[in-house]
Amino acid sequence: MPGCAIGINFLNPADKSTEAAREASIQEFGLNDIVEDQQRVVDFLSDPASHGGDPVETIRTHGAYVFLVGERAIKLKRAVKFPYMDFSTAAKRHAVCEAELRLNRRTAPMLYRSVASLTEDGSGALAIGGNGRVLDWVVIMDRFDQSTLFDRLAAADALTIPLVELLADEIARFHASADAAVDVDLPAEMLDVIRGNTTNLRQCSPSVFSGVAVNKLDERCAAMIEMHRALLLQRAAGGFVRRCHGDLHLRNVCLVDDIPTLFDCLEFSERLATIDVAYDLAFLLMDLEHRGLRWASNRILNRYLARTADYEFLALLPLYMSVRAAVRAHVSAAAEQFDEARDYFQLALRLTDPVPQRLVAVGGLSGSGKSTLAAALAPALGRAPGAVIVRSDVLRKQLAGSDLFETLPPDAYTQDQSDAVYARLGDCSRLALSAGFATVADAVFGRDTERKAIGAVAADEGVSFRGLWLDIPAEEQDRRLVARTVDVSDATPSVGKGQRAMIAPVRDWQRIDADRDPRETLARARSVVLEDG
């Protein structure tokens, strides 16, 4: 099954529907042809007597047994052999256990304890880490509260803006530290995934998927590979192909000490997990989109861009998200989750649909609420996962090579530096628009030349443009700037006072009163933007 990377996840033992679906998947993927009998080991690990009398909860997945005991989770690889995953011998299972420990310690060192042997002594007694003959191997983990899994948080409507932005920070940090690969033919690798998807989707056609629609998706994705061949090669040469997580969706993220923590990465195939970092991110964005959480996927995308300055991958994101959705479509069909499979397939098609772009510029004095408004507008604009936000405060930190929340010195705010920031703002807006995304440009735009320049970007790209200017009284501006704590912007009340002295009231953009409840400001801005269609 080329391109089929199915995650091995911890499941809630009480969730019978999920476990039943997994067991259906097991039947579909041929686990009745298990290559080695592990029943003695499974019985031993399932027995409370093997753990000092502590109760044991056993979870089965397509590639593993997980035994939850006290504060530990013990994972035993199933003796299975697929074209893409070979656990057929104890030696191979040992190697993949070691890989799981090593790879997951990159992001979750606090969860992954060790690899241990399962042994049999001369009397036939089994033990974990004993001195007898080695029968098998397990990964020992710290058990965590399943309610902190991000899919559970999403289902409970417990995801928050700070939480998803922290998650984006963690992903960006991980991607920056992951080992880069060389000599990867990224167009060929992605085309191989697409062809694998098509083969598997056709096997389910026409009972689940329309054959015509499957062909359409295949043609669209293959055409996108050709269209972006140069960019794919450029990303491979530029170090953006790395040993990533590989299975980055909500069920493989949990909270540890209130920090989003990536775990259970794809450990069994270097090839399937050595991918463009943007393809890694695309799985999470697609998962959120599928769950109807566009606001969260938009926040994560824009925070990731703010952390990485990697705006070039935007042209590939629709393709990457569509491919991820297609994988989930045929995997769900194999598990006989046909409604879900059709939903994923329709999402895969929809993600390849062109959507009219637009450029919205949000200007105003510091403290007027530009960034709050931009973030609120973005999810509803354009194709999934919503508009790209190009924020001058973020670009200034990127150009300075500083952290987003590091206060810059005064020489970072000279006119020359500001001109460079606005030039970069125009460049990034063009990148996003040419990639097919709606774009929100967030800056003061206090000079006539700056406003004309951003309008020219829209004209050059042939997209609609709307400029919004947020009006705010001096007293309210001062109050907001004093109340700020952690913010990307370095503006202070003295900066605000200087702006008021230098910037004349703007007449050429739509003016909006920002001295009111943010929801009212958003409603007014939306009505103005939606007037443009």
The residue among 6, 83, 89, 3 whose CA lies nearest residue 266 is: 6
C-alpha 139/C-alpha 113 separation (Å) is 8
Q: What is the pLDDT of residues 354-370, one digit of tens each?
A: 999 999 999 999 999 99
C-alpha 474/C-alpha 248 separation (Å) is 46
Which domains, and CATH codes, for the chain? Answer: 34-143 (3.30.200), 150-350 (3.90.1200.10), 358-530 (3.40.50.300)
Beta bridge partners of 136: 118
Rg (CA), the chain: 26
The 3-state DSSP class for residue 134 equals strand
Sign of CA dihedral 89, 90, 91, 95: positive
Q: What is the pLDDT of residues 159-210, one digit of tens each?
A: 999 999 999 999 999 999 999 999 999 999 999 999 999 999 999 889 999 9
The 3-state DSSP class for residue 519 equals helix
Q: What percent of the chain has pLDDT above 70?
A: 94
Instruction: State how far Cα 23 lies from the chain centre.
Output: 27
- The backbone torsions φ and ψ at residue 307, rounded to the nearest 5 degrees and listed phi first, read -80, -30
Amino acid at 381: L
- To 5 degrees, how large is the angle CA 380–CA 396–CA 371? 30
C-alpha 112/C-alpha 106 separation (Å) is 10
Is 31 or 21 the better-scoring residue by pLDDT? 31
Q: What is the pLDDT of residues 71-99, one digit of tens each?
A: 999 999 999 988 788 999 999 999 999 99
Q: What is the pLDDT of residues 458-490, one digit of tens each?
A: 999 999 999 999 999 999 999 999 999 899 999
Mean of pLDDT values over 333-349: 95
C-alpha 307/C-alpha 384 separation (Å) is 20
Q: What is the pLDDT of residues 364-390, one digit of tens each?
A: 999 999 999 999 999 999 999 999 999
Q: Are 433 and 357 in contact (CB under 8 A)?
A: yes
Calculated CA dihedral for residues 142, 145, 151, 156, nearest 10 degrees: -170
User: What stretch of H or E contains 59?
Assistant: strand 56-60
- Annotate 345-402 with DSSP letters as a single string: HHHHHHTTS----EEEEEEESTTSSHHHHHHHHGGGSSSTT-PEEEEHHHHHHHHHT-
Whether pLDDT at 62 is above 90: no
C-alpha 522/C-alpha 45 separation (Å) is 56
Whether pLDDT at 229 is above 60: yes
Beta bridge partners of 134: 119
